[in-house]
Structure 1
Amino acid sequence: MNTGSYFESIDEHRYKPTPHASGAWSVDEQHFSPLGGLLVHAMDRHLAQRRRTQDLPDDGLLLSRISFDILGRLALDEIEIRVETLRPGRTIELLEAVALIAGRPVVRARAWRLAAADTSSVAGGAAGRLTSPQEVAPWPMESVWPGGYIASIDVRPLAPPQPGRTTAWISTPLDLVAGQPSSALASYVALVDTANGIAVRRSPTEWMFPNVDLTLHLHRQPVGGWTGLDTTVTFGPTGQGITSTVLHDVEGAVGHAQQVLTVRPM
């Protein structure tokens, strides 16, 4: 097994997770973060195949929102991903990708792609740049969470993590899929779900707070290398919580992410 990636390709639609994809709530399950990136990777391949088979130029549409609904247990087992275009269009398009394990849907992702245009003259309103990841020290996140995924990432908080509040940079030396180049966006998205683990309000040995979804809204396409997470976690009084994140790359803010949590005592 290739140990330099989160997944290995079996064929055009099927992938095998490596041990680096495991954890964190259970080491015999997949961490959702790299699987989210894999779904974007599959969408990229779907679009590239469509251009090749129909002899089309790049349509210039940009992925601007992607929502993931986690439908069931993410066993550390072979994944099949099916992608289709739900709403075609020249300026607005909706894609859907479904991940299946043992023939059962476990994640459903929908992505809006919007036309690109030069709006630099009116751009504004985004948060400022974070301190460079080169200027902050790594933090051993594996002291809080188990699993191969957590062990594989470089986590650099701008200040010591506090209950419910952390700003941190995340990167990984691993490929998303062995032997396949991934887009900057897929590689970026593959680290975003880490947000729910960097600012824990209560110890995960005492309380469970898994997210059942992840939604990203992007006002700019991220560049690769580092994923910046400016994260706040809120627990409500009736078993629900929200992890809210301002997303950054090294050039500044790129959008927002939200995760809804089910909060339960262990």
Structure 2
Amino acid sequence: MPADAASPDPYFVALGEGRYAPTEQASGAWQPGEMHFAPLGGLLTHAIEQHRRPRHAGEAAPLLLARMTFDILGFLALEETSVRVETRRPGRTIELTEATASIAGRDVAVARAWHSVAVDTTAVEGGAAEPLPSPADSLASEFGVNWGGGYVRSVEYRECGGRAPGRNRAWQRTAHPLVSGEEVAPLARWIGLIDGANGIAVRERPDRWMFPNLDLTIHLHRQPEGAWVGYDTTVSFGPAGHGITQTALHDEHGHVGFASQTLTVRPSPQR
């Protein structure tokens, strides 16, 4: 685990009434004073899970997360963040929940989560991607070689081999709590790592080309388990400033779903 795993700082400190203070561990990779979206995505997932928990404590059949989308609306300043949540489409078998993060009175990100009822479909289960080599069989590496920011340094990173420009397979986990002062579901911690997919399979050096993502979409065909997130990632750049990061997501038991990110590709000002 990372060197500070004995007493790791959280990514956010709960201040009450939907307000959270980010720590240096949540700082981003593109520029100083910026928050990395990965822990913010985890925070929005946490807020949705908190919002749903008391309403569904006695439901006959649980509703499981099927899809989560995040849209990044502007610069994510490393400052106090407020989160508000509402149920957009209530239901006993399908439900849509929305969470919005704001900083200094301005909305900066929105998350929408579809949950659907759990049904036994093991008789027709199939189509999963090939599993990755386990974290134990993967090579410990430095995620932060090409990146700055506290978030990148907070993550334990292992590569499965076969890295090439725009292509990689790897594992990540973190010892840092997502939020201090509130109970956090394992799912929120797991999703709070996925935005890192855009940094593990770089096609071009980030000090020469910038490729921040506008969004993150996650589809799950199985609920993830454990602390490790596995990535089988491909990055594509087009000819007119657009790109896509596509990832098959894994836990230690196998394939769980997919993630995609829309990239804005442009020369770095430092170039």
TM-score, with structure 1 as normaliser: 0.95
Kindly state the Cα deviation for residue 57 of structure 1 after the two structures are TM-superposed: 3.9
d(CA) in 2 for partners of 1:103 and 1:196? 28
Return the match for 2:28 from 17, 23, 42: 23
Equivalent-residue separation in structure 2 for 1:264 and 1:101 (angstroms): 26
Whether the aligned pair in 1 keeps the contact of 2:8 and 2:177 (CA below 8 Å) is no
Percent identity between matched residues is 54
Distance in 2 of aligned mates of 1:32 and 1:113:
22
CA contact (8 A) 1:24 1:147 kept: yes
Work out which of the residue numbers 179, 202, 205 in structure 2 matches 1:203.
205
Partner residue in 1 for 2:196 = 194
Within the alignment, does 1:265 sit opposite 2:267 as a pair? yes
Please tell me whether residue 37 in structure 1 is matched to residue 77 in structure 2.
Answer: no
Contact kept, 8 Å, 2:70 with 2:217, in 1: the verdict is yes
Aligned partner (choices 169, 172, 184) of residue 170 of structure 1:
172
Structure 2: give runs of 5+ residues left out of the alignment. Answer: 1-6
Higher mean C-alpha displacement, 78-87 vs 181-190: 181-190
User: What secondary structure sits across from 2:133 in the alignment?
Assistant: coil
| 2:123 match: secondary structure | coil
In structure 2, the residue matched to 1:111 is 113
* Residue number in structure 1 paired with 2:255: 253
Partner Cα distance (1:106, 1:217) in 2:
22
- How much has 1:47 moved relative to structure 2? 1.1
DSSP-derived class of the 1:10 partner: strand
The answer to whether the Cα contact below 8 Å between 2:218 and 2:257 also exists between their aligned partners in 1 is yes
Pairs within 5 Å for 1:14-163 = 14-51=19-56, 56-57=58-59, 60-159=62-161, 161-163=163-165
Is the partner of 1:42 in helix, strand or coil? helix
CA distance in 2, matches of 1:128, 1:242: 21
- 1:7 pairs with 2:12: yes
Q: 1:121 aligns to what SS in structure 2?
A: helix
CA distance in structure 1 between the aligned counterparts of 2:195 and 2:258, rounded to whole angstroms = 12
Describe the shift of the 1:47–1:258 C-alpha distance in structure 2 as closer, same or farther (beyond 3 A): same
Distance in 2, matches of 1:173 and 1:134, equals 17
Separation (CA, whole Å) in 1 of partners of 2:81 and 2:242:
29
Counterpart CA distance in 2 for 1:94 and 1:40 is 13
Amino acid at match of 1:239: G
Q: SS at 2:71's partner residue?
A: strand
SS of structure 1 residue aligned to 2:11: strand
Q: Which runs of 5+ in 1 are unaligned?
A: none
* CA displacement at 1:123 relative to structure 2: 0.3
The alignment partner of 2:43 has SS state of helix
User: Structure 2-normalised TM-score?
Assistant: 0.93
- Tell me how far apart the structure 2 counterparts of residues 259 and 239 of structure 1 sit (CA, whole Å): 14
- Matched to 2:188, the amino acid is A
Q: Quick one: distance in 2 between partners of 1:219 and 1:121? A: 14
Tell me the alpha carbon deviations over residues 96-134 of structure 1, each in whole angstroms, 9 at most, x when there is no partner: 000000111000111101010000010000012211101
Q: Secondary structure at the match of 2:249?
A: strand
Deviation at 1:66, TM superposition (A): 0.6
Q: Is the 8 A contact 2:8 2:175 kept in 1?
A: no
Structure 1 stretch 135-144 or stretch 239-248: which is displaced more? 135-144
Question: Structure 1 residues 248-257 or 25-34, which shifts more?
Answer: 25-34
Structure 2: distance between partners of 1:60 and 1:229? 27
The alpha-carbon deviation at position 59 of structure 1 amounts to: 5.2
Could you tell me which amino acid in structure 2 is paired with residue 219 of structure 1?
A: H
